[in-house]
Amino acid sequence: MRYRTLGNSDLQVSEIALGSWLTYSGGVEADVIQACTEAAFDAGINFFDTANVYGRGAAEAAWGEILSSHPRHSYILATKVWGQMSDDPADQGLSPQQINKQIDASLARLKTDYVDVYYAHRFDPSVPIEDTIEAFQKVVEQGKVRYLGFSEWTIEQIQAAIDIAGPDLFAISQPQYSMLWQAPEAELFPLTAANAISNAVWSPLAQGMLTGKYKPGQPLPEGSRFASDTMSGPSVLVYNEANLEAVQRLVPVAKQAGMSLATLALAWILRRSEVATAITGASRPEQVHANTEVSDAQLSEDLLEAVDRALGDAPVTEPRIAAHAQTGVKHR
């Protein structure tokens, strides 16, 4: 495993991280969560990504049990705030009250005194941005959070925060990025690079599509995420015929290069210096091992051109933020 520095922070994160979104919020059993998490430690993964809203606390609670049996300095932990946490529609967003309440609840579930990274899971345009920033800065001052991040903010929202609090406010950004979703390359990566903010990218395998297991015109493979009632995520935007065909054109390209398609897809992400880590999901420990082989893979210019040819027009390349994101900025 190789490690990269997160923005201007003192954190060295593994190039492959493990996330807990659909999988560890109820998608797989507790013993499988344990096996995947231990496989991650064995493979050198030190960066674990969760959110308060994953299973409304279930994913954090599952990891609280497992991670707290490891020395706290041996792992880097990220969680998020913003999503609706109960049936009360007011129980969401980025008001100072919500941030204060949710960080304490997350720390209790995660069985730790601090998280290394606290993300705004989306932007909240109903709250003055100055209020949100001050609340985030306060949880850092209190020692509950080491570094701050954002996920799926617009360029305007990121710039507004930097204009108020300076580029050191954030160490990390969390966009969707994969061979099929290249949207961050146009505007987000240049902005984050200019401000020394790293990217930890989500759904790097397009939720499993970039392993090649979903085939055009064929039934969904049994036991796979898209065949599961509990695990089909909202960003199934990438699941369409054009993308399925593009992925099948990638299969011989990976074979010719002597690597699995998943390894090629992850190495393709890690070719970018703006990316610190690819946050993978795993529904079984074998996937963790397979996905951590990537750290040694090198991609030649010829191979990158072959990838572009195989993908054709399939990838999303224009700037676009993900599901649930909102535009606009409110000021005091």
Ligand X SMILES: NC(=O)c1ccc[n+]([C@@H]2O[C@H](COP(=O)([O-])OP(=O)(O)OC[C@H]3O[C@@H](n4cnc5c(N)ncnc54)[C@H](OP(=O)(O)O)[C@@H]3O)[C@@H](O)[C@H]2O)c1
Nearest residue to 46 (alpha-carbon basis) of 15, 20, 82: 15
User: What token pair was written down for 284?
Assistant: 């079984």
Q: Does 174 bind ligand X (CB under 6 A)?
A: yes
Binding residue (CB under 6 A) for ligand X from 98, 112, 277, 287: 287
Which range touches ligand X (CB under 6 A), out of 98-106, 134-142, 159-167, 224-232? 224-232
In terms of DSSP bridges, do strands 115-120 and 145-150 run parallel, antiparallel, or are they unpaired? parallel
Q: What is the separation of C-alpha 90 from the centre of its chain, rounded to a whole number of angstroms?
A: 26
Indicate the burial class of 51 (C-beta count within 10 angstroms; 0-12, 13-18, 19 or more). buried
User: What token pair was written down for 176?
Assistant: 């969707």
Q: Per-residue x/- mask for ligand X, residues 239 to 278, rule CB under 6 A?
A: -----------------------x----------------
Binding residues with ligand X: total (CB under 6 A): 30
| Residue given tokens 């993908």 in the structure block | 311
Q: Does 197 bind ligand X (CB under 6 A)?
A: no
- Euclidean distance between CA atoms 315 and 306, whole angstroms: 15
Least gap, CB of 160 to ligand X (angstroms): 20
Q: Per-residue x/- mask for ligand X, residues 28 to 67, rule CB under 6 A?
A: ---------------------x------------------
| Residue given tokens 């535009």 in the structure block | 327
Element (H, E) at 286: helix 285-291
Q: Does 23 bind ligand X (CB under 6 A)?
A: yes
54 annotated active-site: yes
As annotated, the active-site residues are 54
Q: Footprint of ligand X on this chain (CB under 6 A)?
A: 19-21, 23, 49, 151-152, 174, 202-208, 211, 213, 224-225, 231, 262, 279-283, 287, 290-291, 322
